[in-house]
Amino acid sequence: MDLAAIIRNVPDFPKPGIQFKDITTVLLQPSAMREIVQGWAARYADYRLDAIVGVEARGFIFGAALAYEMNLPFVPARKKGKLPAETVSESFALEYGTDTVEMHVDALKTGQRVIIVDDLLATGGTVEAVARLVRRLGAEPVEAAFVVELPPLGGRAKLAGLPVHALVEFMVE
Ligand code: AMP
């Protein structure tokens, strides 16, 4: 499967200069989804995982599919103000300003081993904040899994200490 060819590049979205990697074209191909999810499930079969954490919003699609495939709990990491029960929050820097991610305090337990899933690794700020949430709940992020990595944006270095697994790389900023 040529995943790089299936992912649609949309230039100048959401603003000039950004090469947006659109994974909705992957969602249209069940065989591609199956290969991604089954590949991850095989990779993580012996990791003794307790849960899959998915990052809002596109990380929910891939993360929930992986959790289902592996028969594991799925934990959503959501944008601020979306989760109804008691939460923990972590903020991270954006180009302008900050953003905040939250998880329910009872979503993970001490010592649990999790994979964090998102569609794309850019600067790493989002998943770095989600990893902090996981650790604050006493759980251990053992790897972060992405469909796409944009290596020039340096996310791998930002996630230092957390292994990164990505299926396709694009050398764009
Ligand atoms: P970052 O925190 O910089 O690693 O950004 C990651 C988040 O932003 C992911 O949830 C992506 O969905 C989204 N994102 C950032 N850059 C792009 C891009 N060029 N194309 C598609 N999504 C992107």
Q: How far apart are alpha carbons 89 and 87 in whole angstroms?
A: 6
Say how many Å lie between the CA of residue 120 and the centre of ligand 1: 5
Spell out the domains of the chain, with CATH numbers in brackets. Answer: 47-169 (3.40.50.2020)
Q: How far apart are alpha carbons 56 and 58 in whole angstroms?
A: 6
Residue 154, exposed/middle/buried by CB under 10 A (0-12, 13-18, 19+)? Answer: middle
Q: What's the half-sphere exposure (Cβ side, CA atoms, 13 Å) at 144?
A: 29
Per-residue pLDDT of the chain (173 residues; tens, 9 = 90+): 899 999 999 999 999 999 999 999 999 999 999 999 999 999 999 999 999 999 999 999 999 999 999 999 999 999 999 999 999 999 999 888 999 999 999 999 999 999 999 999 999 999 999 999 999 999 999 999 999 999 999 999 999 999 999 999 999 98
Does the pTM of the predicted model rise above 0.95?
yes
Task: State the closest ligand 1 atom to the C-alpha of 55, by its place in the atom list counted from 1.
Answer: 10
